[in-house]
A = this chain, B = another copy of it.
């Protein structure tokens, strides 16, 4: 099966360094040197991560010869949000059921304590 767009996005996001790079770019474009600074990583290692992000369309690079700043691209992140939104009703229900269950457990516990006090 040929890698579809969303799979490429998710694969690119499956790495903490790459997610940290994206987080850094939220506030604006940054040069590769600045981007690499907080990571204990070689420049080739950082460049590899940037290539994965660029290939996934999560970042774009400026065309200025020397200073090729990276910037965050909005499209793929929006697609992730839209995909996961399909499951919102499901997890809200699940957590509601968990809440109900915990409330029930608490009630049972209270009844149990009261019963013990009476005896």
Contact A88 B81 (CB under 8 A): yes
Write out the residue numbers on chain B whose beta carbons fall within 8 Å of the beta carbon of A86.
Answer: 23, 26
**Identity of the chain B residue whose Cβ is nearest the Cβ of A73 in the assembled complex:** B94
Q: Which of A68-115 contact B (CB under 8 A)?
A: 72-75, 77-78, 80-81, 83-88, 90-91, 93-95
Write out the residue numbers on chain B whose beta carbons fall within 8 Å of the beta carbon of A88.
Answer: 81
The docked-state distance in angstroms from the alpha carbon of A37 to that of B7 is 22
Q: For chain A, what secondary structure do more than half of its interface residues adopt (helix, strand, loop), or is it mixed? A: helix
> For the complex, is A35 an interface residue (Cβ under 8 Å from B)?
no
Write out the residue numbers on chain B whose beta carbons fall within 8 Å of the beta carbon of A10.
Answer: 10-11, 13-14
**Given the known A-B contacts A1-B16, A14-B7, A17-B1, are A85 and B90 also in contact in the complex, defined by CB atoms under 8 Å?**
no
User: 8 A–B contact pairs at CB < 8 A?
Assistant: A4-B16, A7-B14, A10-B14, A14-B14, A19-B83, A26-B86, A80-B80, A81-B91
**Residues in A lying within 8 Å of B, measured CB to CB:** 1, 4, 6-11, 13-17, 19, 22-23, 26, 72-75, 77-78, 80-81, 83-88, 90-91, 93-95
